[in-house]
Amino acid sequence: MNTLYLGKDTVCLDSVIDVAAGKLKVDIDPAAAARVQSIRERIEAFLDDEAPNVYGVNTGFGALAEVRVNAADLKRLQQNLIRSHATGIGQPYSESVTRAIMLLRANVLMLGSSGVRVAVPRLLVDMLAAKVHPIIPEKGSVGASGDLAPLAHLALVLIGEGE
């Protein structure tokens, strides 16, 4: 079976379909992982109480964008953000749609602009390989992008919650 390397190979519609069907393996390109790690290290410089405010990194969100969050509370803030957006209802997406969502999220994270730890896309890739598929409800979302609720349900599983 061929392998798609995130951060190196282009993710096209055919590769999404093949991963969704379990016909194509996914892995992370080591050079891309190094880039993602480098960006993460820059983000970590903002995680102490002396750093300047950076929206969503050490501040609240939306109307609370100017409210500083203490370094000791940042993990809880991120967990609660995921929990608060997991508002989907209805039937779960099919396994193949869920696999496509997982692939596309891992791919976006490997582009290196989110400040995420490499462990996050790695976990998604490992879940794809192990055929672990989160339950993501088909209906309901918040935000302009329209994908916050489905992604929150995916993220719940990544933090050890959800189904």
93 as an active site residue: the answer is: no
Please identify which of the residues 31, 44, 55, 76 carries the catalytic annotation: 55
The continuous run of DSSP H or E covering 158 comes out as helix 148-158
Token pair belonging to 129: 């390989």
Residues with catalytic annotation? 55
